Structure 1
Amino acid sequence: MTFVTDFADQAVVLPLVLVLAAVLAAQGWRRGAAAWLLATGGTLAVMLVLKLFAIACGPPLLRSPSGHTAAAALVCGGLAVLAGLGATAVGLAAAGGAIVIGLTRIALGMHSWAEAVLGGAVGVAGALVLARVAGPRPAGLPLRWVVVGAVVVVALLHGLRLPAEAHIRVASFDTARWIGLCRGAPR
């Protein structure tokens, strides 16, 4: 399970998105590159806000929405955009990525069902935003360098992990305590 879930770690996803955006921009599809960056930044920002609130103040089954699940949905949906598929297929690809990674996160005991579903929903929404902002893939845009870039990033970085959750946890309690957001935040 860890092998599969590591594909959606931020140590892989963030460099992957940067490489994909750089390749798309270099090939002249600047709108597609900007869409990847915007959708990724927006998706991760929403997840950060949800985590900051949920960790310190959320109910027991919703303490840490799954960022891995959101990232998997976004990337799988984004790859469907690159393949030139329509919004329905993008949504299905995103949901498929969310289901696979969400199940691994649940099986590993890292998240509850509610946390995986919430992360998946945010990621699917991010993928649909990516599709909308990117628009149709330009005719004749070669994908070989996109594929090469993705394979290289995944081959080099799979298995590495960013300890973002620990930092977010500390920030969550500090923020909740500072603004008096909820009664559950430790003093």
Structure 2
Amino acid sequence: MALVTSKRLLWVRLVLLTVIGYKLLVDPESVLQFNGVLVLSSAMGLPILMYNEKSQVYGLVGVLFIGMVVSDVGPLLETNVKYFETTVLLRLIYSLLLCVYCYMSDYLPVCNSAVFSYAFIETWFGILQYNCLREEHYKRDEQKRLELNELSDKYDRGELTKEDARKYEKSLSEEEYKKIMSEFKK
């Protein structure tokens, strides 16, 4: 079993976002003055977002982070792989574009240490998750292909029960229908 799987990476991301959201609610200065954020923003030449005690935006951002976590927990518990195969790629593209925009532009409300650090972390997690999801997708397809080949061999030898043979014939007719429809669409 692989040490790094897409499910584990998704859980790590959700825990990290929960911690950041919670910290933004109770102690936003610890997030904005975190050494990793400061080093990353100074290395990229971005302005450092300073903590303002009277600003109420930190609570809103913290609630949004926790909301993002909640929106991913359901599909993760249901192991909705198709959801994550789509969402992770879209999230990766968005965060990568946000990183580039932060680096190339000088619009202060967006191009600052906090936004860039968040976009950088999302990009990093997105790349790792996308690669894991793609590898797992190939493994699932290979396993399915092997099972179909085994089922086909058993069908050809007449070793299947009548019920299994009907299921196999039905799957063959569905595959043939899909093939015809895909050719028809072209």
Q: Same fold (TM over 0.5)?
A: no
Bigger RCO (CA 8 Å, 6+ sep): 1
Larger Rg: 2
The structure with the greater share of residues assigned to helix is: 2
**TM-score scaled by length of structure 1:** 0.32
**TM-score scaled by length of structure 2:** 0.32
